[in-house]
Amino acid sequence: MSTPLRWGLLGTSFITGVMVDAIRQEGRSEAVAVAGRDITRLNSFASQYQIATTYTDFDALIADPNVDIVYIGLPNHVHTEYVIKAARAGKAVLCEKSLSVDLPTTADALVAVETHGVFFAEGLMYLNHPLISALLGQLESGAIGQLQSVQASYCAAISQFTNAGSQGALFNLGCYPVSLLHRVMKHQGLTGSGAPQMAGFGRVGEDGNIVEANVALRFDNGLHVQLHTAEDYGLKHQFELLGSKGYLRCASNPWLPGTSNQLVVAEYEQPERIIEVPAEGDAFLYQVRHIIDAIQAGEKQLPYPAAGWQDSAAIMALLCQWHDTVSG
């Protein structure tokens, strides 16, 4: 591959702009092409971010020999179509979360990237950030003892920006608490016991999709979990782990970490301790950094604790079970 590595961007949403900023801040790669179907919006985006090559045909961007990495910033329900096309073209792929809205297309996409031997990552960017390593380090130290319960919620007023085909709040936002739950459980050796029992309910929005949902989970290993998400009000986060000795809480937003972040840890009935986690930038910067490192090293996935292929499959299985539970 050429140096610097060259990105082609599918989609012109605000998150694609965030990615361009991160690519430029990281400095070892460049955004060289962007594709969008609204020509006015496409030209405006290309002008704003000074991207020389534009396409109204997504397939044409994927075929561009000057593109090394395809970034897929499209609605959830079309992600896997372009993951598969990019993999067949031999391109590295970063696909925004959620990878899909169902299990069959998730499997198809992951088979494609493995079959064609390309780098692939799902854009759960926050897992690349030092805050998550610090959180996992506290668990590993035994600071709260044996993990007993997880309580997590993420709300953000994004419903006016979402596509109806994206299947609503669970796949737009619920993927964050679900993915962090999965990472914590895997780190603690608590995965592999099968699908959990779930009970919950959801609220349907004007587009017919779930815009708010609660669910209670019980895993065969005894772990109890409560999850909540909503996409039509607020910007509010919660991630708290209860253990046999104490608790660990994210005081700052674990899914939008920045340069200054805080964890709170305490044994029960003892004073809380604040852990400051400094960083050089936000999660998108670290995601780009780790992608470039991985590709240059010949790796096909991001390093732990970021999401690998098997993690993406497991996260999607939990999301789909939650969606079935509250929409049935």
Residue 114, token pair as written in the block: 């493995």
Nearest CA-CA partner of 151 in 42, 258, 242, 58: 242
**Does the pLDDT at position 110 exceed 90?**
yes
For the chain, give the mean pLDDT.
97
CATH topology of domain 127-283+315-327: Dihydrodipicolinate Reductase; domain 2 (3.30.360)
CB 227 within 8 A of CB 322: yes
The pLDDT of 70-93, averaged and rounded, is: 98
In single-letter form, the type of residue at position 246 comes to G
Strands 246-250 and 235-243: antiparallel
Rg of the chain in Å (alpha carbons) = 20
Structure confidence at residue 67 (pLDDT): 98
CA 212 and chain centroid, separation: 19
Structure confidence at residue 3 (pLDDT): 80
Where does residue 188 rank: exposed (0-12), middle (13-18), buried (19+ CB within 10 A)? middle
Exposure string over 249-277, b if 16+ CB within 10 A, otherwise e: bbebbbbbbeeebebebbeeeeeeeebeb
The pLDDT of 115-136, averaged and rounded, is: 98
Contacts of 141 (CB under 8 A, 6+ apart): none
User: What is the C-alpha to C-alpha distance for residues 326 and 80, in angstroms, rounded to an integer?
Assistant: 24
User: What is the C-alpha to C-alpha distance for residues 248 and 238, in angstroms, rounded to an integer?
Assistant: 11
Tell me the three state secondary structure of residue 279: coil
The per-residue pLDDT for range 7-51, each reduced to its tens digit, is 999 999 999 999 999 999 999 999 999 999 999 999 999 999 999
**Does the pLDDT at position 1 exceed 80?**
no
CB 234 within 8 A of CB 156: yes
CB 202 within 8 A of CB 213: yes
3 or 299, higher pLDDT: 299
Structure confidence at residue 192 (pLDDT): 79
User: What is the C-alpha to C-alpha distance for residues 239 and 183, in angstroms, rounded to an integer?
Assistant: 13
The pLDDT of 78-90, averaged and rounded, is: 98
The per-residue pLDDT for range 243-298, each reduced to its tens digit, is 999 999 999 999 999 999 999 999 999 999 999 999 999 999 999 999 999 999 99
**Does the pLDDT at position 193 exceed 80?**
no
Please give the span between the terminal C-alpha atoms of the chain, in angstroms, as a whole number. 47
Looking at the chain, which runs of residues are DSSP E strands? Answer: 5-10, 29-35, 53-55, 69-72, 92-96, 120-123, 147-156, 197-204, 210-218, 224-230, 235-243, 246-250, 260-267, 273-278
- What residue ranges do the domains of the chain occupy? 5-122+284-298, 127-283+315-327
Structure confidence at residue 233 (pLDDT): 97
Longest dimension (CA), the chain: 61
CATH topology of domain 5-122+284-298: Rossmann fold (3.40.50)
User: What is the C-alpha to C-alpha distance for residues 233 and 155, in angstroms, rounded to an integer?
Assistant: 7
The reply to whether domains 5-122+284-298 and 127-283+315-327 share a CATH topology is no
281 or 191, higher pLDDT: 281
CB 226 within 8 A of CB 214: yes
DSSP code, position 165: G
Contacts of 190 (CB under 8 A, 6+ apart): 147, 219, 221, 223
In single-letter form, the type of residue at position 207 comes to D
pLDDT band at 328 (very low <50, low <70, confident <90, very high): confident
CA 113 and chain centroid, separation: 18
**Does the pLDDT at position 2 exceed 60?**
no
pLDDT band at 52 (very low <50, low <70, confident <90, very high): very high
Nearest CA-CA partner of 128 in 30, 37, 240, 22: 22
Nearest CA-CA partner of 195 in 109, 108, 315: 315
